Amino acid sequence: MKKIILVILFSIFQFVGYTQNKRYTSLSEAMKVSDKVKWFDPNCEEFESFPFEIKKLSNLESLYLTNCKINEIPNVITEFSKLTLLNLKYNNINYLPSEFNQLDKLSVLNLRGNKFRVLPEVLVEMSNLRELDLSENPALHFIQASSVLSEIKNLDFLYLSGNNLKEIPVSLSDLNKLQELHLKNNPELDLKQAFDILSQIKSLKILALSDNDFKMIPENLSSLKNLEGLMLDNNPNLSIQKLVSNLKSLPNLKVLLLRDNNWEYLPNNLDGFFDLKVLELSNNNFREKEQQRIQTQLPNTKVIF
């Protein structure tokens, strides 16, 4: 439970081990100690085309090629047999080569902000893949993508923010190891339908619904019995009174994020918040008197203003 709270509060969704290695950003510096480089995060402005000499980084574990205007994944990437994290966000990629499955140790893959229309089936062959970011791929055919996702059996972190989602396909309920799901910035999402599907994923512990301008949270939120963390940041028109009432039916919820909502008051009755360990209310407009009232009514909750 302590781990879940820390993960949500600081938005650290990568594995801690990736931060323990030195981060190299210069290709020339990395080449000087090529056998020691495990984390390479180059400035793409340093070179005009993909630097194929990086294949000399034989011990590479984490590779970041973000905002590099890459149209396709160079085959050289598949030679990094020790690679566990690959970040390709904000490029122009629309497919993965069949050789991609050679990255058999890859556990974290970030494809945010690319041009995918269909999700490559090669991902199903990657048995160690645990975290996948498909956010901001609005052209993605989501029914097809969901059928592929449902076959990635060890997936426990999934990011689908900013994809114009209206419904959650039934096949996603097959992700029986999924612990964390991000659905930020999908304002047309049918929450009632989504909760019906997500309630079948008993492993789900963290749900992010920020930046959606939702006005009402359906009562079937209560069907997510194992939920421990809920993010509803930047939903300023949300009925907070209805939310407080709904949360009474979530016995395992311990962390609630309600930042950036421009609220001045919470309802008089805060019964639905009593069992929270952390209530994050920063970047709202609560005056000191209201802050004191909230904290007094929630003596066992860490309230952050």
Q: Are 186 and 165 in contact (CB under 8 A)?
A: yes
Cα–Cα distance between 114 and 73 in angstroms, integer? 12
> Tokens representing 154?
């060890």
> Could you give the C-alpha distances from 50 to 28, 66, 111, in angstroms and in order?
14, 12, 18
The rounded distance, in Å, linking the Cα atoms of 8 and 230 is 9
Backbone torsions φ then ψ of 139, nearest 5 degrees: -85, -5
Full pLDDT tens readout for the chain, 305 residues: 444 554 554 443 444 444 468 999 999 999 999 999 999 999 888 776 677 888 899 999 999 999 998 898 878 888 899 999 999 999 999 999 999 999 999 999 999 999 999 999 999 999 999 999 999 999 999 999 999 999 999 999 999 999 999 999 999 999 999 999 999 999 999 999 999 999 999 999 999 999 999 999 999 999 999 999 999 999 999 999 999 999 999 999 999 999 999 999 999 999 999 999 999 999 999 999 999 999 999 999 999 99
What one-character DSSP code corresponds to residue 281?
-
The H or E element spanning position 29 is helix 27-32
CATH class of domain segment(s) 2-20+58-304: alpha beta
Domain spans in the chain, listed from the N-terminal domain onward: 2-20+58-304
Calpha distance 153→177 (Å, rounded): 7
| 3-state secondary structure at position 231 | strand
CA distance 293 to 289: 6
Cβ–Cβ under 8 Å, residues 184 and 208? yes
Judge contact between 50 and 74, C-beta under 8 A: yes
Q: How many CB atoms lie within 10 A of CB 75?
A: 13
Give kind and range of the element (H or E) at residue 303: strand 302-304
- Reading the block at residue 70, the tokens are 């890459």
Q: How far apart are CA 62 and CA 85, in angstroms?
A: 5
Give the helix/strand (H/E) hosting 157: strand 157-159
Question: Which residues, at least 6 apart from 104, have a Cβ–Cβ distance to it below 8 Å?
Answer: 81, 126, 127, 128
Identify whether the C-beta of residue 206 lies closer than 8 Å to the C-beta of residue 179: yes
Pairing of strands 85-87, 206-208: unpaired
